[in-house]
Amino acid sequence: MSAGVHMCGFGHSVPDRAIPSAEIEARLGLDPGWIERRSGIVGRHYASDHESLTDMALPAAQQALSDAGIDTGEIGLLLLATSTPDHLLPPSAPLLAHRLGLSHPGAVDITGACGGFLYALSFAEGFVRAQQKSALVVAANILSRRINEQERASAILFADAAGAVVLKPHSSSERGMRAFELCSDGAGYDLIKIPVGGTRHPYDRPHAPEDRMMHIENGQQVFAKAVSMMANSGSAVLERADVAPEAVNHFVPHQANRRMFDKVAEKIRLPKDRVRSSVERYGNSSAATIPLTLSLIHHEQKLLRSGDHVLMSAAGAGMTGGSALWVL
């Protein structure tokens, strides 16, 4: 019986439409280069009007399955981490599974904002160990449709993208999740939100148009809470696994803001050359940023090696997040 879990396939997808930071700076009256200096973001991609969430998630999942080299019938579970599903009801994961031609796996959405991928990954890893079946974890968001273009705090950051990983049973107990910590801080519940659309403020009641869009209440407070959550959980995970910071081969943080994850790496005492980033080209696509970055460093940079230690960390709306240490 297999004792480990192998992350054996990686995929990603971004829309064709590229939006340079200069375009947003001109619209908001910001100095040239302001966005890059504040966030590290040079560009991002937005979906076209006809693209849905599953349209964008599909090619990322297909690439991951192809990269893994496994038959679609082997997938026993599909988890889709997203805050922007095709519809509020039903969940989008069963539709994605159907479009992929999977053989009726378990399939459900995980609504965990920026921390959603880590939650989905931990759940899927446990499924693979317990059921001895493979799992597909996809994270995708179309945040461009939730941006208030006049609110600087959100307009400069958010983007659209998808990332995916395939997990399968492995004979080595050394493969898979060495340690993880999931956490939340409901005291920061209202710091990042879309005010209208839930049961507290339904669409059918009077509201301002901007209340349908993303709103960041206090950017400095979000920054401080996110850094604390990511750094504390990251340090706890390394301590629990008895792995020194310098033994981490790749630190793949949620790509919220370059200054944010550089600060996290500094607090965990991770070597700067281990930090992996995609924020420059692709911005912040919430839960999708970690699997997107993993896929990019696998397919484009060829950096991932068997036995590598990968530390992942995230924090976002809720506040919710955590960290995970994975051995490839």
**Is the CA virtual torsion 266, 300, 158, 29 positive or negative?**
positive
Report the b/e string of 28-55 with b at 16+ CB within 10 A: eebeeebbbebbbbbbbbbbeeebbbbb
Which is catalytic among the residues 6, 170, 215, 254? Answer: 254
The whole-angstrom distance between residue 29's C-alpha and the CA centroid of its chain comes to 30
Q: How many CB atoms lie within 10 A of CB 305?
A: 9
Q: Residue written as tokens 């988890």?
A: 79
Selection from 154, 162, 160 nearest residue 45 by Cα: 160
**One of 114, 148, 232, 250 is an active-site residue; which one?**
114
User: How do strand 75-81 and strand 106-110 relate by DSSP bridges?
Assistant: parallel
Q: Does 114 qualify as catalytic in the annotation?
A: yes
Catalytically annotated residue among 141, 232, 257, 284: 284
Q: What is the DSSP string of 182-198?
A: EEE-GGGTTSEE--SSS
CA geometry: angle 276, 281, 287, nearest 5 deg: 65
C-alpha 127, offset from chain centre: 20
Q: DSSP letter for 199, please.
A: S
What amino acid positions are annotated as catalytic residues? 114, 254, 284
